[in-house]
Amino acid sequence: MSKPMQGRHFITTQEWADHEIEMLLETSSDLKRKFYRDEPHALLRDKTLFMMFYEQSTRTRNSFEAGMTQLGGHAHDLTPDKLQVSHGETAEDTARVLSRMGHGISIRNCNWGQGNKFIRSVAEMSTKPVLNMQCDLYHPCQAVADLMTIREKFMNEVRGRKIVVSWTYAPSYVRPISVPHSEILLMSRFGLDVTLAHPPEFKLKPEIMAQAEANAKKSGTKFEVVDDMDAAFEGAHVVYPKSWGCLVHEPDREAAVQHIEKYPDWICNEERMALADPNAIYMHPLPASRGAEVTDAVIDGPQSVVWDEAENRLHTAKALMALTM
């Protein structure tokens, strides 16, 4: 296959042009069809991907590892304890070594204030493509799979449809802020009207908000922010209720948990789904906190597309690797 994007890093969708995202989505759909038809598609035969995981993962780890196997290559599952970064080796030196031994490096590092910087340090020195499997600021792989799912469900007729990216209650610990960042950035570029909903303490980073506003203006879509979950759901075609931490407002994690406890009523339930369009779909990147973020009746109900969404993580990861490696 022609590889006009071979060697490209993928750290945020903002750094890829519209036509490059379209090529990624087209390739994803093509590989999905081949997967279902059991057609051989060993596009990366004898190639190696080094996967660096600083956090636990289900969908991301398995989409890249299974995807690499299905493409005919091999993925190394690396955690910091398996690397000399745990003993002080720099990101730059690690990049120099791994990029001489394989064909791609993928990294998941959600440490607040560190993850994106680490990935960019590796990318600066790597001679092979560096793929962001999630950092403290972005989760581009999730956003691309979500856009693919939305297009599938609405038969590619997405312009003018309303997507709600809403904060939800989820107790115990502070979740990354990267998913809502990537959702508002990508959806505002590709025809969807974006409504962001959250309590006052759960703001996103101002520079990313500004980028989303600029995306919407350029693409002729709408971008608005509200602090009322019910108002946000009214007439929505896609609802994406997902918890995230108030790290922009409160970087101290213990204090941040206390802010979460103020809003237990921010849950996606049947009553809120009834406010949306009758044909609305419910999305979540998983894992979802059942009974806190969402009720069982919604996530297991007919409007839920979370399993299709999760599956598309495989096909989009394969397309990303096939195009860049």
Domain ranges (residues) in the chain: 13-139+312-324, 142-309
Confidence (pLDDT) at 81: 86
Q: Which fold is adopted by the domain 13-139+312-324? A: Rossmann fold (3.40.50)
Rounded to two decimals, the pTM is 0.96
Average pLDDT for residues 262-289, to the nearest whole number?
98
Output the CA–CA distances (angstroms, integers) from residue 193 to 82, 144, 257, 308, in the order listed: 44, 16, 31, 22
- 163 to 24, 151, 212: CA distances (angstroms): 21, 12, 14
Chain-centroid distance, C-alpha 225 = 20
pLDDT for the residue 86: 81
pLDDT in tens, 35-75: 999 999 999 999 999 999 999 899 999 999 999 999 999 99
3-state SS, one letter per residue, for the chain: CCCCCCCCCECCHHHCCHHHHHHHHHHHHHHHHHHHCCCCCCCCCCCEEEEEECCCCCHHHHHHHHHHHHCCCEEEEECHHHCHHHHCCCHHHHHHHHHHHCCEEEEEECCCCCHHHHHHHHHHHCCCCEEEEEECCCCHHHHHHHHHHHHHHCCCCCCCCEEEEECCCCCCCCCCCHHHHHHHHHHCCCCCEEEEECCHHHCCCHHHHHHHHHHHHHHCCCEEEECCHHHHHCCCCEEEECCCCCCCCCCCHHHHHHHHCCCCCCCECHHHHHHCCCCCEECCCCCCCECCCECHHHHCCCCECHHHHHHHHHHHHHHHHHHHC
Taking the C-alpha atoms of residue 32 and residue 124, their distance in angstroms, rounded to an integer, is: 32
Phi first, then psi: what are they for 206, rounded to 5°?
-60, -40
Cβ contacts of residue 9 below 8 Å, gap of 6+?
Answer: 15, 123, 126, 129, 130, 131, 324
Cα atoms in the 13 Å half-sphere on the side-chain side of 100 = 6
Q: Which two tokens stand for residue 72?
A: 């005919």
Measured distance CA(145)–CA(285) in Å, rounded: 9
Contact between 21 and 146 (Cβ < 8 Å): no
The mean per-residue pLDDT over the stretch 125-140 comes to 98
Task: Note the pLDDT of residue 2.
Answer: 66
Beta-bridge partners for 49: 75, 104
Confidence of residue 1 (pLDDT cuts 50, 70, 90): low
Q: Do 142-309 and 13-139+312-324 fall under one CATH topology?
A: yes
What average pLDDT does this structure show over 209-228? 98
Q: Is 130's pLDDT higher than 90?
A: yes
Give the pLDDT band (50/70/90) at residue 91.
confident
Mean pLDDT, residues 224-247 = 97
Contacts with 179 (C-beta within 8 Å, 6 or more apart), sequence order: 139, 142, 143, 242, 244, 285
Asked if the model's pLDDT at residue 267 lies above 60, the reply is: yes
Top-confidence residue, 172 or 95 = 95
What pLDDT shows up at residue 117? 98
Largest Cα span, the chain? 55
The reported pLDDT for the residue numbered 252 is 84
CATH topology (fold) of 142-309? Rossmann fold (3.40.50)
Mean pLDDT of the chain: 96
Do 125 and 92 meet the contact criterion of CB atoms below 8 Å apart?
yes
Look at residue 125 and tell me whether its pLDDT is greater than 80.
Answer: yes
Residue 188, pLDDT score: 98
Residue pair 182/13 in contact by the 8 Å Cβ criterion: yes
Choice between 142 and 89, residue whose per-residue pLDDT is larger: 142
